[in-house]
Chains A and B, each alone.
Chain A
Amino acid sequence: MPLPDTTPLLEIRGLSVTIPTPEGDVHAVRAVDLEIGRGDIHGLIGESGSGKTMTGMAMLGLVPKGSRIGAARFHFDGQDLRQQASRLRGRRIGMISQDPAAALNPVLSIRRQIDDVLRTHRDLPRVARRAEALALLAATGLPDPEKVLRSYPHQLSGGMQQRVVIAQALATGADFLIADEPTTALDVSVATQVLALLRRLVAERNLTVLMITHDMDVIAEACDRVTVLYAGRSVETGPVEEVLNRPAHRYTRALLGALPDAVPRGARLAVVEGSFEDPEPGPDPEGAV
């Protein structure tokens, strides 16, 4: 039996993404370290503008035109993402987007949309592609895949749409999925189901997931490890129980203190000091960190 591969699937050291604008450079990501082991669901949490989505986009090679990506190390399975991102995207790195309704073309059947992806990545005859599409839909826990295959997006509920989007991501054959707020558009009970589904798929198919979210509950529910982002920097990382129970960084503590259940009824919620809106051009708000 071969030894299990213990090198991390994703290794990022000192990632920065700088976007030039007419008003000056915006430092969307300043210094992010991220290490994701194979088979992990790794949470990336932070407030709006903390750079979590931009970190994900950088892995896909989809930063705004003219942006500069800097990193001491930016490797996926031993390959440098700075050169290989566009090649890995859609082959080994898949994406599950926030709003499943928008991610599906409203005028094409589900069969068409999954088939397009399968056709791109697998050299299979028509009939086999259909069988594969059915299998993928079934794997995402959709009842009656035959019927879903014939449906159009508007005929499906939000949860079903998100399952279709997940099936589409699996159809690429990717083993690393970037899930950007995959449950934000869903109601709470459906969100729980989708997270459970992701966990099951990770176990069954040997996937690795980067879960981008601003929701502590999602982290607690689905993730193995978590990295906290603040102002474009990774300020804390570790196993979920550890970070949530014994936060080391004061920003993480502040963030946890701001949760509605963290304070007694009627008391004021904690305010995260030094929090800021979308990153603006200018000097690093070093004081806030």
Chain B
Amino acid sequence: MSRLVQRLGWPGTLALACILGFVAIGILAPLIAPWPAQGAGAPNVAARLMPPSADHWLGTDHLGRDMLSRLIYATRVSLSNGMLIVAFSLLIGLPVGLAAGYFGGWVDEALMRVTDVFLAFPALLLAVLMAASLGPGFLNSVIAVSVTWWPWYARLARAEGLVLRGQPYVEAARLAGVSHPRIILRHILPATARPLTVQAALDVGPALLTAAALSFLGLGVLPPTADWGQMVDAGRKFFPDRWWYSAMPGVTIFIVALSFSVLGDALRDRRKGAARASA
């Protein structure tokens, strides 16, 4: 524990704890939600739009469902949304960037011009377009955001590939007849791991926000499944009189996005420190 604090610093450790806490909440949702049935979407119209109370700590929504339970269930959707977007983007961007950087020449040109096409559009607009043409739904919203996201990873991986392919040990491996895929796996990929983990951690927050924005626009998950963005949107009609409806999911998004951002910063600083120490 103290080693972790030493490596990440207090803010980073707190952020990590926070994220792990939310992950745990998501996994254990049915066990810890005070009203599991309502969390999953069962209405309780007798208690519509109740302010926070002993029974409903964070109040109830327009169908009388316990806000806390809804938020806990929405954690599953929103967190996996954010992480899946980053994972999908890495899955596309990493191979594209590595190939472009390592092979160079026309491979690089071709791949990077394709990436440029995606970067030429405003990210949110492209995501909205994609989501609208794919239709709403969890997986579709993940795909829609990933499409706007992967070029950044491609660029990052390309930059590392460019630097490393000129290293004499990479040339030596080539001269020894080691195949391209093996060289990429052995010599190039490991070097991209650190900058990319930092970027990925920093990106989960914004990814989650973008996914929330799609949900807010009605292009994310469909009711009765909840996610945070969709809850903010649903509460908008009752704002500001029933402020808790939009505020609670909003604050949750804020905490999670901030945590990822702080963790990313901590990871980056740790990397810098490591570079200094070895220099």
Task: Give the B-binding residues of A (Cβ under 8 A).
Answer: 60, 62, 65, 89-91, 94-95, 97, 99, 102-108, 112-113, 116-117, 119-121, 165, 168-169, 171-172
> Could you tell me if B168 and A97 are in contact, using CB atoms closer than 8 angstroms?
yes
In this complex, the interface size class of chain B, counting residues with CB under 8 Å from chain A, is 10 to 19
Q: Which A residue sits closest to B183, measured CB to CB?
A: A116
Q: Which residues of chain B are near A168, meaning CB under 8 Å?
A: 172, 176
Complexed CA–CA distance, A119 and B177 (Å): 10
8 Å CB interface, B173-199 against A: 173-179, 182, 186-187, 190-191
B176 and A171 contacting across the interface, CB-CB below 8 Å: yes
Task: State A102–B167 Cα separation when bound (angstroms).
Answer: 7
> Complex formed: what's the CA distance from A65 to B105 in Å?
10
Most-contacted residue by chain A among B174, B177, B182, B191 (CB, 10 A)? B177
**Cβ–Cβ contact B190 & A107, under 8 A:** yes
Residue of B nearest to A104 (CB): B169
Q: Is the CB of A120 within 8 A of B175?
A: no
**Interface contact tally, CB-CB below 8 A:** 66
Residues of B within 8 A of A117 (CB): 173, 176-178
| Nearest CB in chain B to that of A101: its residue | B168
Does the CB pair B177–A165 fall under 8 Å?
no
Closest to B190 in A: A107
B residues near A, CB below 8 A? Answer: 105, 167-179, 182, 186-187, 190-191
Given A99-B168, A103-B168; A94-B186 close (CB under 8 Å): no
B190 in contact with A120 (CB, 8 Å): no
Which residues of B lie under 8 Å from residue A172 when comparing CB positions? Answer: 176-177
Chain B neighbourhood of A169, CB < 8 A: 176
> Can you list 26 residue pairs at the A/B interface with Cβ under 8 Å?
A60-B175, A89-B177, A90-B178, A94-B176, A95-B172, A97-B168, A97-B171, A102-B169, A103-B169, A105-B170, A105-B173, A105-B186, A105-B187, A107-B190, A107-B191, A108-B187, A112-B186, A113-B173, A116-B182, A117-B176, A119-B182, A120-B176, A120-B177, A168-B172, A169-B176, A172-B177
- Docked Cα-Cα span, A121 to B171, in Å, equals 17
Kindly list chain B residues whose C-beta atoms are within 8 Å of the C-beta of A107. Answer: 190-191
Other-chain residue from A62, A95, A97, A116 in contact with B178 (beta carbon distance below 8 A): A116
Is A95 touching B175 in the complex (CB atoms < 8 A)?
A: yes
Q: How far is the CA of A106 from the CA of B164 in the complex (A)?
A: 12
Residue contact A116 to B173, C-beta cutoff 8 Å: yes
Contact pick for A120, options B169, B171, B178, CB 8 Å: B178
A112 and B178 CA atoms in complex are apart in Å by 12
Residues of B within 8 A of A121 (CB): 177
Cβ A91 vs Cβ B172 within 8 A: no
